């Protein structure tokens, strides 16, 4: 059976009969979990098993936003607290190799936590480069303030996840760091000239263009397309994400329920697919919204299906050998005990 080219959420910590029936019928390519879906390790494992049973695919991707800092869906008392991206870039000393090592180690610990409960995709790393005066929706989620730092530490985070059997998702393409408003609430419009965007915003994504999955930004870049955000802009996806950046992995949208987008959910879905997005993301678990989104979605086929298959093929059959206790001690030492207790 063919999957639908979308990733969907569920409402609570268990699946309702209505959700089970809907997911069996629709067969979304994947699922995403949020804090509302998280209680204990055993409960999360049961939920990921139940989601995969709905689509009868043991390798169905189950995603989460587990960055650390402000964006961490799994936390104490059952899971460690992790730092935001900026904390890695701000580690003391003048040794970028040490910062890279600790960033990779932090991501490897995240992967260890996630894989244990059946989560195999993490929406990390954030490759946005924040600029002065921008909204703090990115802020300390970014690894640094230069494309070089963001690329170096973003690569380390991606490698740590892959080593632990978890796929990374580079986000938010082609760059959310200049946005003056939060795209969860309204539509950001960035007026920077193309050369500045290419030199700063696009560069970390270009460096990590070999990654298996990427997420679009609901941001208008007037130098590229003055009318549409990247998620629904054929020009932004073809000329920038696939062209200037050179990304040929599976391209998923940011959450389609965010207020940056306009139109009903069926219209949003059709516009994102028409622009070139392979897979649609819907996060809040609202059944009426998901039904409308699916009505505008399409079967996962052709080039998109090949990209999806290639992404899943990057999940290691066996994680890199790893001593979690030793790794946590090394990590805590680097941050002087402030994180990953």
- The Cα–Cα gap between 240 and 266 comes to 25
Q: Is residue 273 annotated as a catalytic residue, yes or no?
A: no
90, 184, 193, 210: the catalytic one is 184
In b/e form, how buried is each residue of 316-340, taking b as 16+ CB within 10 angstroms? eeebeeeeeeebbeebeebbeeebb
Query: CB–CB of 25/287 below 8 Å?
Result: no
Among the listed residues 299, 314, 231, the one whose alpha carbon sits nearest the alpha carbon of residue 61: 314
341 is written with which tokens? 């207790």
Beta strand pairing status for 71-72 and 66-68? antiparallel
Among the listed residues 64, 17, 68, the one whose alpha carbon sits nearest the alpha carbon of residue 38: 64
Other CB atoms within 10 Å distance of the CB of residue 50: 17
Measure CA of the first residue to CA of the last residue in the chain; give whole Å.
Answer: 44
Helix, strand or coil for residue 111? Answer: helix
- The Cα–Cα gap between 115 and 265 comes to 32
- The Cα–Cα gap between 159 and 100 comes to 10
Going across the sheet that includes 250-255, the strands are 167-168, 121-122, 62-64, 28-33, 4-8, 279-281, 250-255, 213-216, 170-173
3, 128, 225, 254: the catalytic one is 254
The catalytic residue positions are 184, 254
């Amino acid at each position: 059976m063919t999957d639908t080219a979308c990733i969907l959420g569920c409402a609570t910590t268990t699946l309702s009969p209505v959700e089970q029936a809907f997911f069996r019928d629709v067969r979304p390519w994947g699922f995403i979990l949020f804090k509302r879906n998280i209680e204990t390790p055993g409960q999360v494992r049961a939920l990921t098993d139940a989601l995969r049973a709905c689509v009868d695919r043991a390798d169905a991707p189950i995603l989460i936003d587990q960055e650390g800092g402000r964006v961490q869906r799994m936390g104490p008392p059952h899971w460690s607290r992790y730092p935001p991206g900026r904390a890695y870039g701000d580690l003391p000393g003048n040794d970028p190799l040490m910062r890279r090592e600790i960033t990779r180690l932090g991501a490897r610990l995240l992967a260890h936590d996630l894989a244990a409960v059946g989560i195999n995709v993490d929406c990390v790393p954030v490759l946005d480069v924040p600029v002065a005066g921008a909204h703090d929706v990115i802020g300390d989620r970014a690894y640094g303030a230069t494309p070089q730092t963001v690329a170096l530490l973003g690569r380390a985070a991606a490698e740590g996840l892959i080593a632990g059997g978890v796929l990374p998702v580079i986000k938010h393409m082609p760059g959310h760091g200049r946005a003056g408003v939060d795209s969860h609430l309204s539509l950001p419009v960035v007026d920077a000239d193309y050369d500045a965007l290419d030199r700063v915003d696009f560069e970390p994504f270009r460096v990590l263009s070999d990654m298996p999955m990427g997420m679009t930004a609901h941001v208008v870049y007037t130098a590229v397309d003055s009318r549409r955000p990247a998620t629904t802009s054929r020009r932004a996806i073809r000329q920038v994400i696939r062209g200037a950046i050179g990304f040929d992995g599976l391209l998923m949208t940011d959450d389609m329920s965010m207020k940056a987008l306009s139109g009903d959910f069926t219209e949003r879905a059709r516009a994102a697919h028409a622009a070139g997005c392979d897979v649609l993301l819907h996060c809040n678990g609202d059944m009426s919204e998901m039904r409308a989104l699916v009505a505008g979605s399409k079967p996962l086929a052709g080039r998109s299906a090949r990209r999806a298959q290639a992404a899943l093929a990057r999940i290691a059959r066996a994680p890199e050998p790893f001593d979690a206790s030793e790794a946590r001690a090394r990590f805590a030492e680097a941050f002087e005990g402030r994180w990953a207790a």
